[in-house]
Structures are given as structure tokens and as C-alpha cells.
Structure 1
Amino acid sequence: MNENKFYSFLGIIKKSGNLISGYNICEIEIKKNKCKLIIIAEDASLNTKRKFVELCEKMNIKYIVYGCKRKLGICIGKDETSVMGIENDDMSRVVLDMLK
């Protein structure tokens, strides 16, 4: 998998309006069952990882732990982000396929 392609695609998803980022907004959207895939940064705090893994499993939402906060943030125009959510089925499938 080409890492640059992965991060570029996240930027495209953001521009399309199908990507959300940030702890609070992701938590809210997961509870509304709007997210199709959650991406958690590898260097996110243990509590953040635990909370989102449990929430995703409870709501039956796919999740991956990948990348660092800085790279995930930069690709969507932020400094850092620990958690992001993809709200489109097709785009979430493409992201998962990239990581296979």
C-alpha cells in the first residue's frame, strides 16, 4: 500500500464532505450511526483508543488504528487529529481496501 495515496485519499474524502474529525464530533456521529469507518491514530491516548474501540464495537461500526495524529491531521488541513470518521460506504470500502 502506498502511504501517500492513503493520506491523499483522506484529503479527497474531506473535500467531498464525507469525513469528520475530532473527538467530540466523531463520538456524536457514531452514536447517531452515521459513520461507516473510524480511523484512530496509533499515537492517540490509551483512553481515546479504548473509548472509540468500545463505542465502535457497541454500534457495530468498523474501525482501524492507523497512522499518527500529525499525518492524519495534515492531510485534512489540521495540525493533528486523533480520530476521524468516514460517512460514505463506498469511500470507507476503498480506504479498507488500501490497507489490505
Structure 2
Amino acid sequence: MAKWLSLLGLAARARKLVTGEELVLTEVRRSSAKLVLVAQDGSDQTKKRIMNKCEYYNIPIRLVSNRVELGQSIGKPERVVVAVMDGGFAKKLIAQIDE
């Protein structure tokens, strides 16, 4: 398992994540999301919508593995979109994902 997945699980246990397309978009609009992760196997429409919003509000975004892995790492069923609400977690996750 990739290191960033463990860190994401830790962020989930610390209640620093928001999941689900609409909730994530709300946090992006508020500029309270510090990082958005989107599963590569999400629908093209969803990915485009999230990426456009993140670009507009200047929120970092990363495409990651798949919805099953993303969901498992945070202890939930499949998840396509996850927003990290904590700056510290976001910075560390970006560093680990970009390695």
C-alpha cells in the first residue's frame, strides 16, 4: 500500500476529510478544501467538473489510483472524490503523491 494511502486514512480518522462530489464542491467554493483527490476511474464528467472548480478557486488537485483504493484507505466503500480540509495533511499528501 502506498504511503499516501496510510496518511489519508490517518486524516480520515482525524476527521479532516470530506467525501462525495457535492460536499467536496461546497468546500472548494468556500476555499476551505486544501487538496482534492479524484480517482482516475471516476466518470469523465465528474473529473472535469471537479478539476474546473479546483482550478477556478486555486485548490490543488491530484488524480489518484482508483475509487476502491481511495474508499478503502478511509474506511468507506468506493469513493471518487475526497477533499482534505487540513493544510498540514494536504502538504504531506501532495509531497507523497508527487514522489
- In 1, Cα distance between equivalents of 2:54 and 2:22: 14
Partner of 1:91: 89
RMSD: 1.0
Match of 1:23 among 21, 24, 28: 21
- In 1, Cα distance between equivalents of 2:11 and 2:50: 21
Equivalent position SS for 2:41: coil
What is the CA-CA distance between 1:79 and the residue it aligns to? 1.1
Query: What residue ranges of structure 2 are gaps of 5+ in the alignment?
Result: none
Q: Using the aligned pairs only, state the percent identity.
A: 26
TM-score (normalizing by structure 2): 0.94
Letter in 1 for 2:70: L
Partner of 1:47: 45
**Following superposition, which runs of at least 4 residues in structure 1 exceed 4 angstroms of deviation?**
none
Letter in 1 for 2:95: D
Question: What do the CA deviations read for 1:53-80 (whole angstroms, capped 9, x no partner)?
Answer: 1000000000000110001001111110
- In 2, Cα distance between equivalents of 1:31 and 1:53: 12
TM-score (normalizing by structure 1): 0.93
Equivalent position SS for 1:80: coil
Query: What residue ranges of structure 1 are gaps of 5+ in the alignment?
Result: none
Partner of 2:4: 6
Equivalent position SS for 2:5: helix
- In 2, Cα distance between equivalents of 1:64 and 1:30: 14
